[in-house]
Amino acid sequence: MNLSAIKDSRSHRTRDVIVRAAEQLFAEQGIEAVSINTITRAAGQNNRNAVQYHFGNKAGLLQAIFDKHGPGVAARRAKLVDQMLSEDISPPRLIASAIVNPLLEKMEDEDGGEAFIHISAELITSNTLGYAVPERNTIQLAREGKLAHYAANELTHLPKEVALQRILLVNVLGFHALSDHARVRKNAEFDSMARNTAFMASNLIDSMAAILETTPSTATLDMLTH
């Protein structure tokens, strides 16, 4: 291995160590509460400028976390959409299942998966809205092309404005519910059903499907015409 390759390998290892330290700190304490210096110390870096050198700032570090986890989640969702299209499943339930199931899998990923859920829950509103105006969003997210296209084509019983906001609502519900559950299931003070991940996930999908399939009220529809 030549000197350049050795340096590249060392740089990748340093980046990975910093990302893992940041994931855990952001998940445990919240993004705003964690300083760059705290991350540097937790990552065991003697160079005080290590985070700035590799990531620029906290936003760059968050981007690295989403780059680590986001593409896999998006790819898994696209695969699930293809699989479920051959099943007798309503569009709202298909969409809800495609949102939730890859996150359940990610929650079991020991390489920062649960931390990714917590971080996403904290940022989910701005991130989801950022799909509409990516140029204004600090974090660039993996695109959900297949799922978004399917939702746009299938939620035709809803006015466009209602459908877009309900997609935001189910994403917010999904990430926050899973983030909360990840902590609840480790706490023996809660009863067994509260800690049962399969039950919680099934109920979550039921709830999200209900949000997507419910006919808008007259009050909601009136607001679209005034």
pLDDT tens sequence across 126-174: 766 665 566 667 788 887 889 999 999 999 999 999 999 999 899 999 9
CA separation for the pair 191, 13 (Å, rounded):
41
Question: Helix 160-184 crosses helix 113-130 at what angle (to 10 degrees)?
Answer: 160
Residues 6+ apart with CB under 8 A from 222: none
Rounded mean pLDDT of the chain? Answer: 91
Instruction: Please tell me the predicted confidence (pLDDT) of residue 142.
Output: 82
Q: For residues 8, 143, 31 and 124, what is the CA-based torsion angle, rounded to 10 degrees?
A: -170
Instruction: Please tell me the predicted confidence (pLDDT) of residue 10.
Output: 79
Instruction: Please tell me the predicted confidence (pLDDT) of residue 129.
Output: 61
Query: CB–CB of 182/114 below 8 Å?
Result: yes
Q: Distances from the Cα of 186 to the Cαs of 29, 155, 191, in angstroms?
A: 17, 37, 11
Q: Mind listing the pLDDT tens digit for each residue in 111-127?
A: 999 999 999 999 987 76
Average pLDDT value for residue range 94-101: 97
Instruction: Please tell me the predicted confidence (pLDDT) of residue 226.
Output: 75
Query: CB–CB of 165/151 below 8 Å?
Result: no
CA separation for the pair 206, 201 (Å, rounded):
9
Instruction: Please tell me the predicted confidence (pLDDT) of residue 12.
Output: 86
